[in-house]
Amino acid sequence: MKQAQTPQQRSLQYHLCYNRIYAETRRTFKTCHPKDALVISSMIKELGVQQYDPRVVNQLLDFVYKYVTSMLDDSKIYSNHANKKNIDIEDVRLAVALRVEKDFTTPPPREVLMDIARTKNALPLPPVKAHCGLRLPADRYCFTECNYKLKPIKRAVVKLGSSTGQTQTMDLAELSIANEEYVTNARGIKREREDMNFDV
């Protein structure tokens, strides 16, 4: 008969199983992965990371391939602009410098930020009106401002009679109400609305 395991024994068994699977994964990783993946895994080890998911290497490889491809594409554009047949080291340096300038921006120095903060804080705040309730800023800075516009009502020209030729201008809303209340059949007899029939 099997004895029930304590939580400590289950935890120890789980960790042993995990370490065995992890070691197996690392062993197969070294034998079946390309050289670039091995370089990235060695870089991760140099940073002091001992355990990581193997998918991290794939993600970093994807980033490296995309970055290098975009650098070479930019270098090709610059070499074509300079009427050169091949890409040289100067084109690659220019592409890297421009990409670093565009993508990886550094924040301004602390002194510059302090000067900007001093000039901004030197301006006095606008006076607050004395009234009860919430003191909100101006309407343009609030979400309570009206953010829609009403459309003007369209006018429709309706002919009153075919023999007289008179015309009258009515709102579309009035016209729909008139059509609802006075529905006539082909003989011109006034017909009641269906919802007005109470003899059920």
Residue-wise pLDDT tens digits, 8-61: 776 777 667 667 776 766 665 555 677 888 888 888 888 888 888 888 888 999
Beta pairing partners, 158: 168
Q: What is the pLDDT of residue 185?
A: 43
Report d(CA 160, CA 86) in Å as an integer.
82
Backbone phi and psi for residue 157, each to the nearest 5 degrees, phi listed first: -90, 125
Mean pLDDT of the chain: 75
Chain segment 78-110, per-residue pLDDT in tens: 999 999 989 999 999 999 998 888 887 788 899
Domains of the chain in sequence order? 35-103 (1.10.20.10), 154-183 (no CATH)
Report d(CA 46, CA 41) in Å as an integer.
9
CB 178: neighbour CB atoms within 10 A?
12
Helices (H), the chain: 7-32, 35-46, 54-81, 89-103, 110-122, 172-181
Q: What is the pTM of this model?
A: 0.40
Q: Which two tokens stand for residue 17?
A: 């199983």
Report d(CA 153, CA 107) in Å as an integer.
53
Q: What is the pLDDT of residue 53?
A: 87
Strand (E) or helix (H) holding 158: strand 155-159
CA dihedral 134, 135, 139, 145 (to 10 degrees): -10
